[in-house]
Structure 1
Amino acid sequence: MTRIPLSRPLAIAAALSLSACAAAGGDGAPSLAKRPVEGRFDVAPPVVVVDPPGPLPADLAGRLARWDADAVAAQRAFAAERGTAATLVSAASGAAVASERWVVAQQAISRLQATRAPLTGALADIDRLYLDRSVAEDIDGLPDIYALRDRLADMAATQNAVVEALERQLPQ
């Protein structure tokens, strides 16, 4: 079997393609100028006017105020319980799992978690409201709803970090 070097077919293909380019370079070559059909779609898109969201509807203002008050009360209760929980967790940091100090520290963390219930409940309610209004395309008041939701989510995330830090201090 005779082997043909790979470079030979490549050289032949290159020579054929170059000869085709040279033949097309004469007077019969197509112009590269812009054709009339190419500019057909060079038009500005139509302006779409979107009304900004209006103010918060009166029936929602009271619910947002209640959720805000619930979150503030939960934050106060969490802050009050946090010191006690931190002290008990520190005391149990070297204790064995299921020992008296460990159980007391776990109970303190559970009480700390329980203080978060009004905040997490308000956050769930405001999430549901935001989604329902978004789906129904009721945009009035959405900036106010989202601002409160964002603030409550930040509070919940901060509290989660505190609880997780306390849990990491206890032996598993």
Structure 2
Amino acid sequence: MKRALLFAPLLLPLPACAGTQANDGPSLAKRPVEGRFDVAPPAPVVAPPGPLPTDLAGRLARWESDGAAGQQAFAAERSVTASLVSAAAGAPVASERWVVAQQAISRLTAARAPVTGALADIDRLYIERSVDEQVDGLPDIYALRDRLADLVSTQDAVIEALSAQLPG
């Protein structure tokens, strides 16, 4: 008898469960109110960058002229350096011709200082304005930065090619 009383509480909930299964429960289908939020949120409106501020126009013009001057100086040194490197191509390391060619490559590298300096300055300006979220003029700044970076990349390739011709 005591055993039957122990299982009696377990038998009571069973009819309740069986009763709900016989009845139709609530539908799990999507209700009309649930589709209300299925719309994409509107895209945030971001104003395009404005024109270049007047205080920056002079700096960009100066950096552009520095880049042009550096490119002219590089071009002038390039032919001299190329002939000296060609003359030292078969010379042993630390010979007179080799040293003269290495010095010419150093002068060629120094001749492009205005370009690399302008690129460093414009990189700094671009980063500062991006961090401060000052977007006015960024397309102009980036366009000049891109031109200067292309010049430096081309000059790097020339210097590497000349340096590769020398032993050691």
Whether these two folds match at TM > 0.5 is yes
Q: Which string of whole-angstrom CA distances, capped at 9 and with x for unpartnered residues, describes residues 16-73 of structure 1?
A: xxxxxxxxxxxx9xx8965557634311212321111111000000000000000000
Counterpart CA distance in 1 for 2:31 and 2:101 is 80
Alignment of 1:9-158 (within 5 A): 34=30, 36=32, 39-158=35-154
Q: Which amino acid aligns with 1:87?
A: S
Counterpart CA distance in 1 for 2:90 and 2:46 is 61
- Picking from 139, 162, 168, the partner of 1:166 is 162
Indicate the structure (1 or 2) with the bigger Cα radius of gyration.
Answer: 2
Counterpart secondary structure, 2:93: coil
Q: Which amino acid aligns with 1:129?
A: L
- Residue ranges of structure 1 left out of the alignment (5+ in a row): 1-27
Counterpart CA distance in 1 for 2:104 and 2:113 is 15
Counterpart CA distance in 1 for 2:88 and 2:104 is 11
Counterpart CA distance in 1 for 2:28 and 2:70 is 71
Residues paired across the two proteins, number: 146
**Aligned alpha-carbon RMSD (Å):** 2.0
Counterpart secondary structure, 1:140: coil
- Residue ranges of structure 2 left out of the alignment (5+ in a row): 1-23
Counterpart CA distance in 2 for 1:69 and 1:121 is 12
Q: TM-score, normalised by structure 1?
A: 0.79
Counterpart secondary structure, 2:152: helix
Q: TM-score, normalised by structure 2?
A: 0.80
Greater helix proportion = 2
Identity within the alignment, %: 77
